[in-house]
Structure 1
Amino acid sequence: MYLGTDNVVITGRSMDWAEDIYSNAWVFPRGMERDGATGANTIKWSSKYGSLIVSGYDAGTADGMNEHGLVANVLYLAESDYGTPQSGKPTISIMAWGQYVLDNYTTVSEVVDALRAEPFVVIAPTLPNGKGAQLHLAVSDPSGDSAIFEYLGGKLVIHHDRKYQVMTNSPSFDQQLAIETYWTGVNPLAFLPGSISAADRFVRASFLINAIPKQADPHTIKAVPGGTYENQAVAAVLGVMRSVSTPLGITHPDKPNLASTLWRTAYDQKNKVFYFDSATSPNAFWVPLSSLDFTKGAPVKKLTMAGGKVYAGDASSKFVTATAFTFASGH
């Protein structure tokens, strides 16, 4: 999460996985009737807010921003333990967890207050590749507020502070913070750890996100026709994400989070613009949320990205009406 001058807040994310997860972009309007895909005791809701999301396997929401600029990013966490269902308490598939947040809240504080009450028990299904859906969640909003949600030992742990600008995969976030504390005593200009481990990528991202400029460079902006501070900041954030990405073809047979970077996203939360940068495409593209129809009753729309589809520039006109995917069952 980048915090710049002039209320510029941009959240970037990389998706690292050992195989193609057939991601597509989806537009979900307000008023969609949802459930947690966990059977008779599943939680049910109607979406209060529209959102633009990126799917994983078209079976769950991996990433997204709602119309108020709230961003949810779901990442793999091997240490996750969601406990056992409690009698009478609603349940939700973890594949719907991020979407539940985007559908119901506008700020990080709202999310923290609501999820701290633990309105449901998370059920983690097996992913199509046979791996468990062991995930943690980061949320950020246009004010620069941030929170991390993890289930460890069957308990929900929440870290809430705008200073939490970086999250990666393992270890758990409290240990990531300990790693960050250690590296504050090391000169990062002399040495940064360079492996593809999550801990090393955390260190590099933590340094770089605060090393890039926090205000506009007028010379850079003038050199680009139509350039703005926000465009420059998005480019810088994507540069950070690329610098901590893993080249295609590098994977670990037993650790799915130590894998090639498939794609990167960046969300301009001030202007509510979504950017997508595929590791297999020659172009990045963007979608202003102002170009999308989130009104209740509007159609669900899909931008097919799986299968080598290539887009450039503003891709908002390329979305087509589609039937919403079904969240993977948490039975």
Structure 2
Amino acid sequence: MGLIVCAAIALMSAAANACTRLIYETGNKTFLVARSMDWMEDPKTDLWAFPKGMKRDGGLGTGSITWTAKYGSVVASFYGVATVDGMNDAGLVANTLYLGESDYGDAKASGKPLISVGAWTQYALDNFATVDQAVDALSKEPFAIVAPALPDGNAAGGHLSLADATGDSAIFEYLNGKLMIHHSPKYTVMTNSPTFDEQLAISAYWKNIDGLSFLPGTINSPDRFVRISWSLNAAPKEKDERLAVATTFSLIRSISVPLGLSEAGKPNIAGTIWRSVSDISAKRYYFESAYSPSIFWVDIYKLKLAAGDKPSHLDLNGHPIYSGDVSGKFLPAEPFKFLSN
């Protein structure tokens, strides 16, 4: 057995993580971004509408970075302390997935303004319209990330993916205290461990295998990366908007994990709690809870996202059954506070 094959198998057996993100291109050369949120318990996700003009900070008190939101956004929260998913009114989509290898370095020793890992995704949505803009600005490392433990006691480590209306894509990972950026429209799939460069190496090996005859089948992260990459390339590029959304949902469902599945001692391998699809062209954010039998969506154009508007939120506590357009159901609310010590 060759060295590459051995390495691929070793990585697949060693990695056990959750969540998947993909970018689907339609026949009209527009793009939809889907992600699954896999976790060992319900992370109490709500949807929020944050207007442009909001005064923000990194959530860590004195020394935190501050900014004013240039763009409005609809986002999904995580335990009420982090933004982990969403799209802004310029069409930038952000998805943060768990990454056990994350190491943000010694933030206090950096001498830079601080930002909670819970605010990282929101910072991108508030400040950038395109992936190029984000890569240019974030590569200068304007802040140092602090990652306190999550409310459930688990480590808060993740990598951030961005996509825009052109299909451009970038993935940001902090490894051994250093920022790694993978920037290319070719990067249409992201899962979790191992790190993205190693995922690409595994995927390159599997490109030589006939996917109609055999694909790796476990719920481990590298296997999911390979399977969804093959499915994404095989899926037809639909021109009809409804079919395009349906195809994107079918892809992310196909790689999801059964609800309730968990493994003792591995909090990051678990069932799919919810899925989202961001239709960048239509500026529509779709959401599907594994606890509910239907899909609902938010039209960004219908939200109050102008400067001076108040933040609002859609309470998903208790898993209410929503269907169709819920843009009018958002109610004014004080924004959640980002994860802190």
Superposed CA offset, 1:141-186 (max 9, x none): 0100000000001100000000000000111000110111011000
* Displacement after TM superposition at 1:126 (Å): 0.4
Question: Are 1:113 and 2:124 counterparts?
Answer: no
User: Which residue number in structure 1 is paired with residue 322 of structure 2?
Assistant: 311
Within 5 Å, give how 1:1-331 maps onto structure 2. Answer: 1-85=23-107, 86-216=109-239, 229-329=240-340, 331=341
Superposed CA offset, 1:266-286 (max 9, x none): 000011111001111011111
Conserved in 1, the CA contact under 8 Å of 2:110 and 2:144?
no
Conserved in 2, the CA contact under 8 Å of 1:169 and 1:257?
no
User: Which residue number in structure 1 is paired with residue 9 of structure 2?
Assistant: none
User: Which residue number in structure 1 is paired with residue 8 of structure 2?
Assistant: none
- How far, CA to CA, are the matches of 1:170 and 1:115 in structure 2? 22
- How far, CA to CA, are the matches of 1:211 and 1:203 in structure 2? 12
Residue identity in the other structure for 2:322: Y
Gaps of 5+ in 2: 1-22
**Aligned length, in residue pairs:** 318
User: Which residue number in structure 1 is paired with residue 14 of structure 2?
Assistant: none
* Displacement after TM superposition at 1:299 (Å): 1.3
- How far, CA to CA, are the matches of 2:44 and 2:30 in structure 1? 31
* Displacement after TM superposition at 1:249 (Å): 1.5
- How far, CA to CA, are the matches of 2:189 and 2:29 in structure 1? 19
Residue identity in the other structure for 1:168: T
- How far, CA to CA, are the matches of 1:3 and 1:171 in structure 2? 26
Residue identity in the other structure for 2:304: D
Conserved in 2, the CA contact under 8 Å of 1:301 and 1:319?
yes
TM-score by length of 2: 0.92
* Displacement after TM superposition at 1:87 (Å): 4.5
* Displacement after TM superposition at 1:108 (Å): 0.1
SS at match of 1:102: helix
Gaps of 5+ in 1: 217-228
User: 4+ residue stretches of structure 1 with deviation over 4 A?
Assistant: none
- How far, CA to CA, are the matches of 1:288 and 1:21 in structure 2? 24
Conserved in 2, the CA contact under 8 Å of 1:8 and 1:230?
no
Conserved in 2, the CA contact under 8 Å of 1:230 and 1:268?
no
Conserved in 2, the CA contact under 8 Å of 1:72 and 1:137?
yes
- How far, CA to CA, are the matches of 2:267 and 2:193 in structure 1? 11
* Displacement after TM superposition at 1:39 (Å): 2.4
- Please, what is the CA RMSD of the aligned residues? 0.9
Conserved in 2, the CA contact under 8 Å of 1:292 and 1:316?
yes
TM-score by length of 1: 0.94
